Chain A
Amino acid sequence: MIGVGKTKQYANVLDRPISKGKQEVSLSAFAFLFSELVQYNQTQVDNIAELERRLEDAGYAVGARVLELLCHREKGNRRETRLLGILSFVHSTVWKVLFGKVADSLEKGTEHEDEYMISEKELLVNRFISVPKDMGTFNCGAFVAGIVRGVLDGAGFPAVVTAHFVPVDGQQRPRTTILIKFAEEVLVREARLG
């Protein structure tokens, strides 16, 4: 946290010491804000796909900044260059900072070589959300998918990232799976690196 007295000395945001990331706000403050983000974007679109794309765009902007911040603060200005490295960075480091916990699971897709999944039983952004029936498969997790895409893209791992509800046996609420499909060039490079 930046001290009150100190703030005045620095004219430029970059001159200030970087925050340690320990500050918190109430979950409801975030939930209220997120709900406004969704509601505002609902007024800007005609269909669900468009709404998800806009939420993803908003998330992308967050992800790009999170990558920069965390590489600097948590990784001593280094960033992962290998596929598994960056995936575990997202699953562990990014998740821990943003959501206070490591993601529930990180798996490789069984059908396609280029697909990976990060799953979360109760994704923070979906915690207070119930999707009306007429909105079909809409998933607010698109915002988190955007964050993941922002981090990956910024690190040089372009991918298509989408959020899906997956029903779980014996559970009333479905879990959210973030599906990451890497661009071909990423796999080609990865194969070359051996």
Chain B
Amino acid sequence: MAPPPRSGDAIFANVDRVNAELFTLTYGAIVRQLLTDLEEVDEVNKQLDQMGYNIGIRLIDEFLAKSNISTCVDFKETAEVIAKVGFKMFLGVTASVSNWDPEGTTCSIILEDNPLVDFVELPDTCQGLYYCNILSGVVRGALEMVSMKTEITWVRDMLRGDDAFELRLKLLKQVPEEYPYKDDE
């Protein structure tokens, strides 16, 4: 029998951890480097999303290995798992899920505590920057690896004066899993 799923808190308590400030400042250094190199804020948003995607497609393995979570029955469960287990086990913070559409394919993940943005304030020249765009890339990449194509956008951003961070997740399509082998082989 498969071991029971573990809670985000339990996993986080057991993994190696580092000071969040090192993480925050390193992320800040990355964003600053991108702004210098790419100059256009839109390009930086794109690059951050790409970096997140690269992380997401690898991070999902660790996530599945440590959480013992098996297939979610629907997108609602998936979103809950991302918010409660995923965010907790990597970033040490929990998020909540709300604002479901009637079809159950679009929802919001709301983050009130976000280690990426300590010490950060957006200058006037960077108003179009989605500073945390790496996070949306991570979620998109990770979900793609478990057969879900999603579109993820920022609805609220505390760096832009909102009261929380809100990621809007839209399930575009669920790609049926294809096995690289056939049963009779």
User: Which residues on A are within 8 Å of B, measured CB to CB?
Assistant: 1-2, 4, 7-8, 12-13, 19, 21, 23-30, 32-37, 39-41, 44, 54, 57-59, 61-62, 65-66, 69, 97-100, 124
Contacts and interface: CB of A to CB of B under 8 A. Distances in A.
A26 to B, nearest CB: 5
Given A19-B21, A25-B92, A30-B18, A1 B113 contact: yes
Contacts, number: 121
14 contacts: A7-B158, A24-B17, A24-B19, A25-B18, A25-B92, A26-B16, A26-B90, A26-B92, A30-B26, A37-B26, A40-B51, A58-B29, A69-B119, A99-B22
Q: Which of A24, A34, A44, A99 has the most CB of B within 10 A?
A: A24
A98 B22 contact: yes
Given A8-B163, A65-B119, A30 B22 contact: yes
Interface of B: 12, 15-23, 25-30, 32-34, 37, 47, 51, 54-55, 58-59, 62, 89-92, 112-113, 115, 118-121, 134, 158, 163
Contacts of A57: 33
* Chain B contact residues: helix, strand, loop or mixed: helix
A24 to B, nearest CB: 4
B32 A40 contact: no
Contact of B21 (A21, A29, A124): A21
Contacts of B51: 36, 40
B25 A124 contact: no
A35 to B, nearest CB: 8
Contacts of A98: 19, 21-22
Contact of A27 (B16, B29, B47, B163): B16
B22 A32 contact: no
Q: Which of B21, B23, B37, B58 has the most CB of A within 10 A?
A: B21
Given A40-B51, A58-B30, 18 more contacts: A12-B121, A13-B121, A26-B12, A26-B89, A26-B90, A28-B59, A29-B91, A32-B59, A33-B55, A33-B134, A35-B55, A37-B33, A40-B33, A44-B37, A62-B22, A62-B26, A69-B119, A99-B19
